[in-house]
Chain A
Amino acid sequence: MAAALLFIFFSIASSGAMLEVPTIARVLDTAWPYGIIAVAVGLLMISGEFDLSAGVMVGTAGALLGVMATEWGMNLWAAVFLSLLVCLALGLWNGVLVVWTGLPSFVITLGTFFGLRGANVALSKYFTGDALIENIDDAGGYDSLHTIVATVFGTAPSDFRVSLIWWAAFILIATWILWRTKIGNWIFASGGDRDAARAVGVPVNGTKIGLFMLTAGAAWFVGVSSAIRYTSVQAGQGVGQEFFYIIAAVVGGCRMAGGYGSAVGPAIGALIWGIAFVGIPHAGWNSDWRWAFLGVLLLVATLINHVVGERVRTARSG
């Protein structure tokens, strides 16, 4: 609903430009990479954990793919697969470390974040001599992969990417898992009351580790998709975006302390970000205001969730 209001607001502010198909295409194209990862980060948040390394892992996935495909002459399919394995291993690392040490995931994944931030660029430079890896489309298997992750429908500027379908599928699957499987119940239970969940036999540790791996997998998908789409990779990409995912999840109604939320919410949060990102310049304002907008949005949304949520809950109890 907030997304709809915002859309109407920018439609008026931009005197209708917001309603044109090219603009909508741009909004969606801006939103989907954040949206896919935000859904995973949202599930992780419901289970009571954070992942600050999700953004930089987009860069890791892309850079790995780039190095393997351009320097080592690997088939792109193999490179994509190996890149997935590395990302899942990093997710496993995050999860196992959080579960074993009992430290806040904020700290653990912050460590992973800086570790990868350095490693991404340093290793890219070491292997390719540059932080920018280009000509990924020369590798074998590029065409078939391009079809899967970057097919275009319509002609520019009214073009829609197949990524949107992947995003929608991911939202649907995540929603299904959350509400209609026992794993979903475990996710809610792990974040709702960890000790209670453990006492009745919920595999809390396994659930959390799995969600860290899911988040890493989502980052991998976005990293690999954009590498294939643009045929080049900036090893430093993704840095700073980890907060967008968290903001999208919180704006989408996921409770920061865990135990409450949805999969659709974070996707809508990402959509709001897309609308603002495209709408602010359309309305004729300086695009630097995007950042200020994001900050205000986070505060307002959290406040509304808090107040409305509290009211709804107490009303139901009466």
Chain B
Amino acid sequence: MSETTDTPGMSDTSDANELNAQSDEAPAPRAEESGAESSEPPVLEVRGLGRRFGSVLALEDVNVSLHAGEVTCVVGDNGAGKSVFIKMLCGLIAPSSGEILLDGDPTEFSSPRQARSQGIVAVYQDLALAPLMSLWRNFFMGAEPVKGWGIFQRFDVAFAKQAMQAELEKLGVDLGDPDRAAHTLSGGERQGLAIARALYYGARVLILDEPTSALGVRQSGAVLRLIRRAAQQGTAVVLVTPKPQHAFWVGDRFLVFQRGRLVEDRKSETLTLESLSYLMAGGTEVEELETAIATA
């Protein structure tokens, strides 16, 4: 109990110290973000990131840094490169150029599992839950807490239930009876459980791929509030969503992808819902389309 509540605070301070020390040694030049959230060094940073599939250039020269406590929205049309981008962040696809820096150190993720062990967790639409298993069994699936020794070693059920409830409470999620089967959860509740699980296992960068795409208004609201709360606890959240309203409500920063390039990197203060919707709808592409229609 005490362990779970202490962990985020502890890691925040120690990381910050470590990072400050590092940035003193070698300040990283970042043209695009000069003057932005300068005081806090990024958790994750990508430089010149690109990916080619055969002769097709899916993503080219992306420079972004992700900060603790910030919700970064990744928006763009289909095929704009946003899913390739997040897949490279979480280790599902290896970049063909550029580098990824975790706490200022270059890293390579050979698998999602490895990325997860370093605190970069992706929560996908098909959430990893066994439908007929109870919530707490799902929560600790693959990482069961045990007590006792030798052949008497056993699943610490009391701890599992209590630790799950504590984590859910911290995020303000109420799922009711921990013994209920996972398939009885609504879509929003499933997201809640998955996000709580990711944070419990020490996610520092949480990547959410269209978490509200299959949800109604109320459930979407709950999930977005949950995302805000995760950021408040010091997580760097990366949110992919096609819905401008959702992105605008929850996002601190917006990365707009177009045809395999990062074309905009804007802070929320510099945007209105209209301008964001315009950017998300394709921005300059829409103008081109309009002129194309008008001149035809």
Contacts of B157 in A (CB 8 A): 180
- Alpha-carbon separation in the docked complex, A205 to B127 (Å): 21
* A316-B181 in contact given A185-B155, A201-B113 (Cβ < 8 Å): yes
Q: Is A307 among interface residues, defined by CB-CB distance under 8 A?
A: no
Decide if B141 touches A202 in the complex (CB within 8 Å). yes
Jot down 12 A-B pairs with beta carbons below 8 A, ordered by A.
A180-B154, A189-B142, A192-B131, A192-B133, A196-B141, A197-B142, A201-B143, A202-B141, A202-B142, A255-B132, A259-B133, A317-B180
Q: Is A182 among interface residues, defined by CB-CB distance under 8 A?
A: yes
Contact with B along A157-182 (1 / 0, CB 8 A): 00000000000000000001001111
Is chain B's interface secondary structure helix, strand, loop, or mixed overall?
A: loop
- Alpha-carbon separation in the docked complex, A179 to B154 (Å): 9
Decide if B141 touches A200 in the complex (CB within 8 Å). yes
Q: Is A292 among interface residues, defined by CB-CB distance under 8 A?
A: no
Contact of A260 among B132, B153, B177 (CB under 8 A): B132
Decide if B129 touches A196 in the complex (CB within 8 Å). yes
* A192-B132 in contact given A180-B155, A181-B153, A316-B184 (Cβ < 8 Å): yes
Contact of A193 among B131, B155, B181 (CB under 8 A): B131
- Alpha-carbon separation in the docked complex, A182 to B142 (Å): 8
Q: Is A313 among interface residues, defined by CB-CB distance under 8 A?
A: yes
Decide if A193 touches B153 in the complex (CB within 8 Å). no
Query: Which residue of chain B has the shortest Cβ distance to A318 in the bound complex?
Result: B184
- Alpha-carbon separation in the docked complex, A179 to B155 (Å): 8
Size of interface on A: residues with Cβ below 8 Å to B: 27
Number of A-B contacts (CB under 8 A): 77
- Alpha-carbon separation in the docked complex, A107 to B132 (Å): 26
Query: Which residue of chain B has the shortest Cβ distance to A315 in the bound complex?
Result: B184
Decide if B128 touches A200 in the complex (CB within 8 Å). yes
Q: Is A188 among interface residues, defined by CB-CB distance under 8 A?
A: yes
- Alpha-carbon separation in the docked complex, A52 to B184 (Å): 33
Contacts of A260 in B (CB 8 A): 132
* A188-B137 in contact given A180-B154, A317-B184 (Cβ < 8 Å): yes
Q: Is B170 among interface residues, defined by CB-CB distance under 8 A?
A: no
Contact with B along A230-255 (1 / 0, CB 8 A): 00000000000000000000000001
Contact of B142 among A176, A192, A201, A255 (CB under 8 A): A201
Expressed in whole angstroms, the minimum distance between the Cβ of B290 and any Cβ of chain A is 44
* A196-B181 in contact given A185-B140, A202-B141 (Cβ < 8 Å): no
Decide if B128 touches A185 in the complex (CB within 8 Å). no
* Residues of chain A in range 240-281 having any CB-CB distance to chain B below 8 Å: 255, 259-260
Q: Is A199 among interface residues, defined by CB-CB distance under 8 A?
A: yes
In the complex, the 6 A-B pairs of residues with the closest C-beta atoms, listed nearest first: A192-B130, A317-B184, A196-B128, A182-B144, A200-B142, A201-B142
Q: Is B146 among interface residues, defined by CB-CB distance under 8 A?
A: yes
Contacts of B127 in A (CB 8 A): 196
Expressed in whole angstroms, the minimum distance between the Cβ of A249 and any Cβ of chain B is 16
Q: Is B183 among interface residues, defined by CB-CB distance under 8 A?
A: yes
- Alpha-carbon separation in the docked complex, A291 to B39 (Å): 79
- Alpha-carbon separation in the docked complex, A176 to B157 (Å): 12
* A200-B132 in contact given A181-B155, A185-B137 (Cβ < 8 Å): no
Contacts of A199 in B (CB 8 A): 112, 128
* A259-B180 in contact given A197-B141, A200-B142 (Cβ < 8 Å): no
- Alpha-carbon separation in the docked complex, A176 to B155 (Å): 10
* Residues of chain B in range 101-148 having any CB-CB distance to chain A below 8 Å: 112-113, 127-133, 137, 140-144, 146
Expressed in whole angstroms, the minimum distance between the Cβ of B163 and any Cβ of chain A is 15
Query: Which residue of chain B has the shortest Cβ distance to A190 in the bound complex?
Result: B130
Q: Is A91 among interface residues, defined by CB-CB distance under 8 A?
A: no
Contacts of B146 in A (CB 8 A): 181-182
- Alpha-carbon separation in the docked complex, A202 to B129 (Å): 12
Contact of B130 among A176, A182, A259 (CB under 8 A): A259
